[in-house]
Structure 1
């Protein structure tokens, strides 16, 4: 009888250990291999040029979307086309206005996390321009000029000093040369959803930002309950501090060691 009793106890212990191991294996974060990068306004996919090789060096599959920046709908469509080309789970990353785009497009089931780099993160239906008015105006906004066709660009001075203020002037000018005009529809666009309610989020605040007020960035990060870091950088931390930005992305992707 004692042997039977001990055998029964042993069986129960083994079953419990097996169940625990199974639970651990199903709930432990899994590394995500696909990273989709979304640029913001006044830029193009080349703004991720320093971050991409750092991610690729860790074996990640990286796609940088080329947003048309003509309307929110068109940009969301471009991101969803990129998502459809991925094989497996995705971490979706955005800079600046791109945060609006991933907040809208990030509801796709393959998206396992959202990373915001000095990015907009509006609530569904929120008037983002009205939200910005709750904080002192960012200087770059004064440098936005519109042409007769209804497209806007930052002046050279605003781009160098207020958008990319911590880059050497020659480097800032090379990014100014690829600045994409923006459609006026973007200034009036509202997201219809906020994917950050349902997906894990990370946020990098740029403390010296002159394009989005840093306190507004902090507010949006806190509202999302995002894992947040602060970088002493201009709006373009992805260019001036690519290692820190890449490390945050790799943390979101659960790359071992991050």
Structure 2
């Protein structure tokens, strides 16, 4: 059932209490990080972080984008764990969109000093994210998913309008051309950990998002007790507003 605004506000208030369970309210920032590992979600590949990476490198950070296989949740988490194993020192783990589930699971790694969610899913351990999402308005992009057997992708019209709506059309078409199809089985996965309960967490809400409902993003950010910013952007704030997203990551890394 879709919630009205009053019910959404009530849920947000409840989330503030729930987010404080398992870690102290206002948890102190982690140690200064020297590495950033960035994870992409559905309808994308690792190159979507290129503009953010350039800014992180200019600030002296070692940045690595994971090529998420988008097959199963376990295999996606394993791809992040392999990259984390190569890092030397405290590392900020960043997830966009579906990758929020991945960093919630992989983020328990002791190297991870902070988590950054960019318009991302942020389930609790064992939570049915799809059921949670159904309590908020269905985002327009959902109707644009096309399946070729076991593999899904976003159709061109929905990609340009609902996924990358604030990007120049020519750039959005290039991103559409390189999107990595996802395996349907990926959507059935559930996390077994919620690293945001024990790690300092940051969240960038996209206020013009048509892929994840902005009020759902606010709910998840509030529940985790994250330092939250609101960005007037489509689902792809990491591309349309890389300065803002890089600044949030630098704050999470103790470099602001």
Q: TM-score, normalised by structure 2?
A: 0.88
Distance in 1 (CA, whole Å) between partners of 2:58 and 2:122 is 29
Report what 2:62 is aligned to: 61
Report what 1:109 is aligned to: 110
Q: Does 1:171 align with 2:182?
A: no
CA offsets, 1:143-184, max 9 Å, x none? 001112x00000000000000000011000010011000011
Distance in 1 (CA, whole Å) between partners of 2:238 and 2:42 is 14
Q: Does 1:96 align with 2:94?
A: no
Report what 2:8 is aligned to: none
Structure 1: 5+ residue stretches without partners? 1-26
Distance in 2 (CA, whole Å) between partners of 1:205 and 1:158 is 20
Q: Does 1:191 align with 2:188?
A: no
Q: Which moved more, 1:187-196 or 1:241-250?
A: 187-196
For 1:22-171, what aligned pairs fall within 5 Å after superposition?
30-148=31-149, 150-171=150-171
> 1:193 deviation in Å?
1.0
Question: How has the CA–CA distance of structure 1 residues 242 and 28 changed in structure 2, closer, same or farther, with 3 Å as cutoff?
Answer: closer
> 1:188 deviation in Å?
1.1
Distance in 2 (CA, whole Å) between partners of 1:79 and 1:183 is 18
Q: TM-score, normalised by structure 1?
A: 0.87
For 1:5-24, what aligned pairs fall within 5 Å after superposition?
none
Report what 2:218 is aligned to: 218
Report what 2:209 is aligned to: 209
Q: Does 1:237 align with 2:240?
A: no
CA offsets, 1:187-236, max 9 Å, x none? 11111111110100000000000000000000000000000000000000
When the two structures are aligned, how many residues end up with a matched partner? 229
Cα RMSD, aligned residues only? 1.0
Distance in 2 (CA, whole Å) between partners of 1:28 and 1:80 is 22
Question: How has the CA–CA distance of structure 1 residues 90 and 228 changed in structure 2, closer, same or farther, with 3 Å as cutoff?
Answer: same
Are the aligned partners of 2:32 and 2:90 in contact in 1 as well (CA < 8 Å)? no
> 1:29 deviation in Å?
5.7
> 1:30 deviation in Å?
3.6
The structure with the larger Rg is 1
Q: Which runs of 4+ in 1 moved over 6 A?
A: none
Distance in 1 (CA, whole Å) between partners of 2:165 and 2:29 is 41
Report what 1:19 is aligned to: none
CA offsets, 1:44-92, max 9 Å, x none? 0010011001000010000100000011111100000000000111000
